[in-house]
Each structure stands twice: as C-alpha cells, then as structure tokens.
C-alpha cells in the first residue's frame, strides 16, 4: 500500500457549522497538532476527511483501541525468507510522506502507547524508531490530528496531561436544528421537512443524556433513519430501527422514547 492509496479523490460532503474550517486551515498552516472534541456521530471524522481533501493531503486514519501497542503505530520487523524486514506502521508512513495522521478515539488507546506521538507534537517534529535505530524527520506537510470524546469515560480513560497540552482543540457539537436538518436531508435524500422532524426527534433523545441514556441520538443515526425513510419505510418504523433500538435496552427508556417520538410526528 502506498501513500497515494490514502488520498481522497472526491469531495466529502461537509456542512460547516461555524468557523472551524478557517481555524483548522490556520492551524495546519503552522502544523499545529489538533484535537477534535465532541460526541460520537457529530461529524468529526467527516470534517477531517473534508479538510484532507481541501488541503490535498493524504489522510491516514488509525482507529485506536486499548490493545494497541506502540509498534502498531510506528511499525515492526517482520520476517521473510532471508531475514527480517522493517514495515512502517501507519504513523511512520504519514510522517515520512507528509500525510495527515488521524488518531480516532485516542482515549481508547493506553496512555503509555500514546506517548510515542510526543516527539512529533512539539517543535522537534521527529519520530524515533527505536527498534530500527532510525530517527524519521517529519515531512513538512505532516500533521497530526486526534479525536477525543470526553463523555462518560473521562474519569477512567483520559489523556495524560502532557499529551493534552500538545494540541489545539476544536469543539464539535451537534449542529443547530436547521443546519442539522440540511445535513440529514443531503446525506439521506429525504425531504427537508422530514429531515426537520428527524432532527426534532433527535433533540428529544439528546434531552435524555444523563437521564437514562449515556448519549443522545447522533447526527449519523438521524441520517440512517432518513435513509430508511428514503427507502420507503414509515417514519415510526425507521426511527425505531435506527434511533431507539440501537441506543438502549432499557424497556422504560424505550417506551419513553417511543412516546416522545410519537409527540414529534
């Protein structure tokens, strides 16, 4: 796989909510590492795809998980018939060829794993490959972006203070209702008024954050519901499939959500 495989060919749809595009461009111009904060499904990943496309940089995405080791990021020696060969990890690849490296849900990775990004995120901009005995100087176009969803886990899973302080941050929230309706309509293909209804429903479920739900229905879920409706499914059935059933197993919460949805349509 070469770095060109990571290029984004077609413009990903992104509807700006504020000045985040300008802010990100300014941050990229000075190669400042950025942190995208916000609840799940509110458009963080789409935003970074869109920015990579605008800036014309390849985008290397790594979904972090708690079993991830530093070698999964920087690379490791593998064997072939004659001996060992070094294989760059996704982070090293991005560093060498000047891609934007996007570490998705970084809190999921263990704290000792994430310290490998420290030398990249200050003015050194280097990545030491300790096993290989090489220090990779970052390509001038390289930039590091992480996503970080504080949420309920924040007490137990959090970034080290020393990691946090290396980033600038853009906060993402669910968009304003009319903007969100526009997004839902565009992405799912339903009419604007149906999208507005879906957004109204989504807001009801977000009211329940902390009152039975850990997180309300995301924009992504609303789009899923919209796609079902575009396929000819009724709004009640679509919301049940895409919004209610995935989000909770609690019978009382389901009942309340169903009733709240009935109040919206």
Partner 1 sequence: MLAYLRASPALAAAFGPPSARALGQAMAGIARDAGGPAAEALARAAADASRRLRSAERFGAWLEIVERLAGLAPESLEALLERTERLLETLDSENLLAWALSGIRAAGGDPERRRLFFRFDDPVAGRWLARGGGSTPFSLLERRLKIYVTALWGQNLVVRAAGVTAGELPRRTSFDENFIRVPEVFPGVPDGQSAALFRAALAHAAAHLHFGGSRFPIGSLKPLQIALVSLIEDARVEQLAIDELPGLKRLWLPFHEAAAGGALTAPALLARLARALLDPTFVDGHAWVEKGREMFLAECARWADPAISRAIGSLLGNDLGQMRVQFNPRTHVVEPAYRDDNLGLWDFGDQAEATGEAETIIQSARIEQAQEREAPPPERERQDPAQAASHESPAPRRLKPEVVEDVGIPVAHYAEWDYLIGRARADWTTVLEFAGRTGEPAMIDRILERQARLVTRIETLIRSAKVSRPVRLRRQAEGDTLDLDACIAAEIDRRLGQAPDPGLYSVLIRRHRDLSSLVLLDISQSTGDEVPGAGASVLTLEREAATLIAHAMAKLGDNFALRAFCSDGRAAVGYHLIKDFAEPFDRRIFSRLAGLESRLSTRMGTALRHAGAELDGQRSHRRLLLIVTDGEPSDVDVGDHKYLVEDARHAVLELGHKGIDVFCVGLDSGGDNYLARIFGRRSVLQIDRIEHLPEKLPMLYLRLTA
Taking the C-alpha atoms of residue 261 and residue 265, their distance in angstroms, rounded to an integer, is 7
Q: Which is nearer to partner 1, 23 or 262 (CB)?
A: 262
φ/ψ region of 126 (left if φ > 0, alpha if ψ in -120 to 50, else beta) reads beta
Taking the C-alpha atoms of residue 135 and residue 87, their distance in angstroms, rounded to an integer, is 15
Nearest distance from C-beta of residue 60 to partner 1, angstroms: 21
Q: Which is nearer to partner 1, 153 or 162 (CB)?
A: 153
Nearest distance from C-beta of residue 168 to partner 1, angstroms: 26
Taking the C-alpha atoms of residue 141 and residue 98, their distance in angstroms, rounded to an integer, is 4
- The Cα-based distances of 18 to 38, 170, 176, 181, 210 in angstroms read 14, 11, 10, 16, 27
Nearest distance from C-beta of residue 56 to partner 1, angstroms: 35
Q: Which is nearer to partner 1, 13 or 86 (CB)?
A: 86
Q: Which is nearer to partner 1, 11 or 255 (CB)?
A: 255
Nearest distance from C-beta of residue 44 to partner 1, angstroms: 22
Q: Which is nearer to partner 1, 25 or 87 (CB)?
A: 87
| Sequence-separated (6 or more) residues with CB below 8 Å from residue 26 | none
Is the CB of residue 61 less than 8 Å from the CB of residue 100?
Answer: no
Q: Please, what is the Cα angle at 62 between 60 and 63, to 5 degrees?
A: 145
Structure tokens belonging to residue 90: 């996704």
Q: Which residues bind partner 1 (CB under 8 A)?
A: 66-67, 69, 71, 76-79, 83-84, 152-153, 155-156, 200, 203-208, 210-212, 214, 251-253, 255-257, 259-265
End-to-end CA distance of the chain: 49
Is the CB of residue 52 less than 8 Å from the CB of residue 59?
Answer: yes
Q: Which is nearer to partner 1, 28 or 174 (CB)?
A: 174
Q: Which is nearer to partner 1, 68 or 183 (CB)?
A: 68
Structure tokens belonging to residue 143: 């930039």
| Sequence-separated (6 or more) residues with CB below 8 Å from residue 195 | 181, 182, 184, 185, 188, 222, 226
């Amino acid at each position: 796989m070469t770095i060109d495989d990571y290029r984004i060919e077609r413009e990903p749809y992104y509807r700006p909510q504020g000045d985040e595009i300008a802010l990100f461009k300014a941050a990229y111009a000075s190669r400042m590492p950025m942190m995208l904060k916000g609840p799940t499904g509110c458009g963080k990943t789409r935003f970074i795809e869109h920015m990579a496309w605008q800036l014309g940089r390849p985008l290397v995405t790594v979904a972090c998980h708690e079993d991830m080791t530093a070698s999964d990021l920087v690379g490791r020696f593998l064997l072939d018939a004659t001996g060992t060969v070094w294989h760059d990890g996704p982070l090293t690849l991005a560093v060498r060829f000047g891609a934007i490296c996007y570490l998705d849900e970084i809190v999921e990775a263990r704290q000792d794993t994430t310290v490998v990004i420290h030398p990249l995120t200050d003015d050194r901009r280097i990545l030491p490959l300790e096993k290989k005995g090489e220090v990779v100087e970052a390509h001038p176009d390289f930039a590091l972006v992480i996503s970080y969803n504080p949420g309920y886990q924040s007490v137990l899973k959090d970034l080290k203070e020393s990691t946090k302080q290396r980033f600038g941050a853009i906060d993402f929230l669910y968009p304003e209702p009319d903007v969100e309706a526009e997004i839902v309509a565009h992405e799912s293909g339903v009419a604007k008024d149906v999208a507005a209804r879906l957004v109204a429903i989504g807001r009801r479920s977000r009211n329940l954050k902390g009152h039975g739900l850990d997180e309300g229905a995301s924009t992504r879920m609303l789009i899923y519901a919209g796609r079902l409706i575009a396929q000819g499914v009724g709004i009640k059935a679509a919301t049940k499939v895409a919004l209610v059933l995935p989000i909770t197993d609690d019978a009382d919460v389901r009942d309340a959500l169903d009733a709240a949805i009935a109040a919206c349509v």
